[in-house]
Amino acid sequence: MMRASLPALALMAALAAPASGHDTDPPVQPEAQIAAALTEDVVEIRSTFAGAELVLYGAAVGLEPGDDIAVVVRGPVRDLRVMRRQRVLGVWVNSDPVFFEGVEGYYAVASTRPLAEFATFSALRRNRIGMEHVRLSAPDTERIETRFGVPGVVVSDIGAAIVDYRAAVVRNKARSGLYVEASGGVEVLEAGLFRARVVLPPATPTGVYDADVYLFRDGVPIAVRRTSLEVVKAGAERAIYDLAHERPLAYGLLAVLLAVLSGWLASVVMRRN
Amino acid sequence: MVYLPIAEVSLNLFLLLGLGLGVGFLSGLFGVGGGFLMTPILMFLGVPPAVAVSTQTNQIVASSMSGAIAHFRRRSLDVKMGVILIIGGVFGSVAGVQIFALLQASGQIDLVIALCYVGFLGVIGALMLAESVSAIVRRARASAPPRPVRRKRTFIDALPFKTRFAVSGLYMSVIPPLALGFLVGVLAALMGVGGGFIAVPAMIYLLRMPTNVVIGTSLFQILFVTALTTVLHAARNQTVDIVLAAILIVGGVVGAQLGARYGQKVRAEELRAGLALIVVAVCLKLAWDLAAEPSDLYVLIEVRGS
C-alpha cells in the first residue's frame, strides 16, 4: 500500500503542475487523463534470470465511479509458423503450415473487472484488448473481397480452420505464461490511483514492450496512456549472444577451442591420478 | 536456475551438472560417447532440438579429446584409417548441417531427429541385448565361445583404390572407410552424436579392423568431425550454446572418470547388457512420444531472421 502510493502521488503532482502553471490560456480540459509508470523500464536477462515481476503504477485524473481501467502489455513481434499435427503411419507429423506475420511475443491484459462487463465488443476489437482480440494476421491465407455488397471484407482461404490456428497460437503462448489475462488484475487504490502487476515468464522474448493503459467509460476508452519497457540480455549472456550472432565463425571456433582445452586438461589430470 | 543465452531457456544448474555427471558416468563405464542419451534428454527438458544437437556435438569434442589422447599415448589407434574416415566425415558433416538447416526451415527437424534416434537406437539396442544375453548364457553353461568363422570374401574386397593400413594389418579399398566416415558425419550433424555406436561395430564387422585399435581410431575421427560440425552449426544455424556446453563438459569429465574406475569392477557382459537396456529404454520413450496423441495438436515455430 505504501509502496504503491508514493510513486503514484509523485505522478499526480507531475500531472497537476502544468495545468495550474498556465492561467492565461486555459487548455481544453479533457474528460480524463492518465499517468502511468513501471517500477522498472529495463528488465535485464542475466545468468540467473527466471522471469521477472514488475508493477505498473498510475493515476487516472477524472476517474469517476463506474469507470474501469484496462492495462495491456504487448511484447515485440515475431513471425510465426503454426503447423497442425497429423497422424501419418502411426506417427504424428507436422503439416499444413500457416504463416502468421508480426505476432506479439508477449501479451498481458489486466483490468478492474472482466472486460466484457465494461467494454463493448467493437471497442475491445479496435484497440485489440483481450485474448480474443490479439492481432493474428495470416496474410498468405487472406483475401479481401466484397461480400454481400460490403467491400473490404477479409476472407480466409482455409475457411473456418483459421479459427483453430488462431486459438492454437493463444493457447500455446498462454501455456508458457506469455499470454495472460487477469480480470481483477488492476487494483484501484484511492483518488484515481491504480496499480497492476506485470509478470514476465522465463521465456520472455527480448525487445521493446509497450504498456497501454485505457480508461473506459460507457463501454469505450476515453483516455489512453502509453509507457514502454525494454527486455534486454545483459552481462555475459549478452556478450555471448552477440558474439554468436555477429561473429558466428569466431564463436564456433572459440567453442571448439574451449572443448579441446578442457578435454586435454581432463586427460592431464587423469594421468596424474 | 541458470539462463542459457542461445537456448533462451532457464534450467536448473544442478540438474544439468547431474545430467552431465550421469551420462559421463555411463560413457566412462561403457566407453561410449553418451551423445545418444544426452541429446534426447536435453530435448525432454525443453532445450530446442536444434540447440540440443549442436551443443551436444561441442561436448563430444571435449570427451573425445581426452579419450583420443589416452589412445594416442598407448598407440592404440590407426591414424591412416582415421584420416580417411575424417575425409569422409568432413563431407558428411557439411551435408548433414545443410540437411539440418533445410529441415529446420520446413518445420520437420524434430520429427527427423526423433525418427533417426528410434531407428538407430532400436536396431543397435536389440543387437547388443541379444549378443550380451547370449554371452551371459554361454558363460553360465561354461562353454567356450564359438570359434570365429574364417572370413569370407565380401563385396568390400572387390572394390578398387586399395591401400595398406599397417597398424590395422589390412589391405583394403578406401571406399568403405570413406563411406562410413560420411555416414558418421551426417549422423553427428543431424543427431548430435559422435557416431561411435555405428562406427565401432562397422569397423569390427565390416572393415574387420583389430578390436584394440577400433575405439581409439573411432575417437580420433569423432574428435575432428564433431569439432567441424560444431563450427558449422555455429556459423550456419547459430545454435551452439557455449554455457550449456561448458556445464555438460564439467559434469561429463568428472562422471567419465568415476565411470571408468567403476567399470573395472564389473563384468563386461553385464555392462553391455545394461547399456543395451538403457538404449532400448530411450528408444521406446522416443517412439512413444512419436506415436502418442500430443497434448496440443498444433505447434508454433518461430521464423528466424525476422
B8, B238, B290 member nearest A248 (Cβ): B238
Q: Please, which residues 275-304 of chain B have a Cβ atom closer than 8 Å to chain A? A: 290-291, 293-294, 296-303
- pLDDT band per the 50, 70, 90 thresholds, residue B306: very low
Q: In this complex, which of B61, B234, B298 lies closest to A168 when CB atoms are compared? A: B298
**Quick one: average pLDDT of A85-96?**
86
3-state secondary structure (DSSP) of residue A39: coil
- Nearest-angstrom CA–CA distance, B126 and B130: 6
Q: Of residues A82 and B270, which shows the higher confidence score?
A: A82
B-chain residues near A258 (CB < 8 A): 242, 245-246, 249
Q: Does B61 touch chain A (CB under 8 A)?
A: yes
Residues of B in contact with A94 (CB under 8 A): 107-108, 110-111, 299
pLDDT band at A121 (very low <50, low <70, confident <90, very high): very high
Note the pLDDT of residue A17.
Answer: 45
Beta bridge partners of B2: B11
What residues does each domain of chain B span? 2-141+157-291
pLDDT digits (tens, 9 = 90+) for B248-278: 999 888 887 787 777 677 776 777 788 788 8
pLDDT of residue A14: 47
pLDDT, residue B225, reads 92
Residue A3's pLDDT is 46
Res. A173 pLDDT band, cuts 50 70 90: very high
Chain A residues lying within 8 Å of B294, measured CB to CB? 85, 92
Span A223-254, pLDDT tens digits: 999 999 999 988 888 888 888 888 999 999 99
B11 phi, psi to nearest 5 deg: -130, 160
The residue ranking higher by pLDDT, B172 or B245, is B245
Cell numbers at residue B21, please?
A: 555427471
Name the band, by pLDDT with cuts 50, 70 and 90, for residue A19.
very low
Inform me whether the C-beta atom of residue A128 falls under 8 Å from chain B C-beta atoms. no
Report whether pLDDT(B91) > 90.
Answer: yes
The residue of chain B with its CA nearest to that of A161 is B298
A84 CB within 8 Å of a chain B CB = yes
User: A171: pLDDT confidence band, cut at 50, 70 and 90?
Assistant: very high
Measure CB to CB from residue B253 to each of A46, A165, A266 and give the nearest one.
Answer: A266
Q: Does A259 touch chain B (CB under 8 A)?
A: yes
Q: Cell match 486459438: residue? A: A167
Do A85 and B63 lie within an 8 Å CB cutoff?
A: no
Q: Provide φ and ψ at A160, rounded to 5°.
A: -65, -20
Nearest to B3 among A47, A78, A253 (CB): A47
Q: CA quadruple B51, B52, B54, B59: dihedral positive or negative?
A: positive
Per-residue pLDDT, A266: 83
CA B66 to chain centre: 16
Domain boundaries, chain A: 2-75+105-131+171-233, 234-273
pLDDT of residue B154: 67
Least confident of A81-90, A121-130, B163-172: B163-172
Considering only the beta carbons, identify the residue of B6, B65, B299 that sits closest to A263.
B65
Whole-number percent of chain B with pLDDT over 90:
18
Q: Please say whether the beta carbons of A133 and A179 come within 8 A.
A: no
Q: Can you name the residues that pair with A119 across neighbouring β-strands? A: A219
Q: For A2-75+105-131+171-233, CATH number? A: 2.60.40.3880
Q: Does A220 touch chain B (CB under 8 A)?
A: no
Strand A107-111 and strand A68-74: the pairing is antiparallel
- Residues B31-47 have a mean pLDDT of 82
Give the DSSP per-residue string, A166-182.
HHHHHHHHHHTTSEEEE
- B126 reaches A (C-beta below 8 A): no
* CB–CB contact A270 B70 (8 Å): yes
Beta carbons of A255 and B240 less than 8 Å apart: yes
CA distances from A88 to A91, A95, A261, B290 (A): 5, 10, 46, 11
The pLDDT of residue B58 is 92
Q: What was the pLDDT predicted at A257?
A: 94
Beta bridge partners, A227, equal: A211
B170 vs A22 pLDDT, higher one: B170
Contact B66 A263 (CB under 8 A): yes
Residue A273 neighbours by CB under 8 Å, 6+ apart: B257
Q: Which helix (H) or strand (E) holds A224?
A: strand A220-233
The model's pLDDT over B109-161, given as tens digits with 9 standing for 90+, comes to 888 888 888 988 888 888 888 888 888 888 777 665 555 555 566 666 777 77
Average the pLDDT over each of A3-7, A102-106, A187-191, B251-255 and give the range with the smallest value. A3-7
Q: Are A138 and A159 in contact (CB under 8 A)?
A: no
Residue B117 belongs to what H/E stretch?
A: helix B109-140
- Residue B145 has a pLDDT of 56
Q: Do A252 and B66 touch (CB under 8 A)?
A: no
pLDDT digits (tens, 9 = 90+) for A101-115: 889 999 999 999 999
Decide if pLDDT at B229 tops 90: yes
* Chain B contact set for A203 (CB, 8 A): 8-9
Percent of chain B with pLDDT over 70: 92
Beta-strand relationship, A207-217 and A68-74: antiparallel
User: What pLDDT, in 10s, does the model give residues B234-253?
Assistant: 998 888 999 999 999 998 88
pTM reported for the whole predicted model = 0.76
Of the candidates A171, A177, A174, the one whose C-alpha atom is nearest the C-alpha of residue A51 is A177
Is A232 in CB contact (< 8 Å) with chain B? no
The answer to whether B301 contacts A266, with C-beta atoms less than 8 Å apart, is no
Amino acid identity of residue B267, one-letter, is R
In this prediction, residue B44 carries a pLDDT of 80
Contact assessment for residue A94 and residue A166, using Cβ atoms and an 8 Å cutoff: no
Interface test with A, best of B12, B241, B258, B300 (most A CBs within 10 A): B300
Pick A130 or A27 by higher pLDDT. A130
What size, in residues, is chain B? Answer: 306
pLDDT on residue B270: 75
B66 interfacial to chain A (CB closer than 8 Å): yes
Given phi > 0 = left and psi -120 to 50 = alpha, else beta, which region is B292? beta
**Contact predicate B242/A256, CB 8 Å:** no
Asked if pLDDT for residue B86 goes beyond 90, the answer is yes
CB pairs under 8 A between A and B: 184
Residue in A193, A201, A32, A22 with CA at minimum distance from that of residue A107: A201
Contact status of A42 with chain B (Cβ, < 8 Å): no
Residue A195 belongs to what H/E stretch?
strand A193-200
Q: What pLDDT is stored for residue A249 in this prediction? A: 92
**By CA distance, what is B228's nearest residue in A?**
A256
Which is higher by pLDDT, B28 or A250? Answer: A250
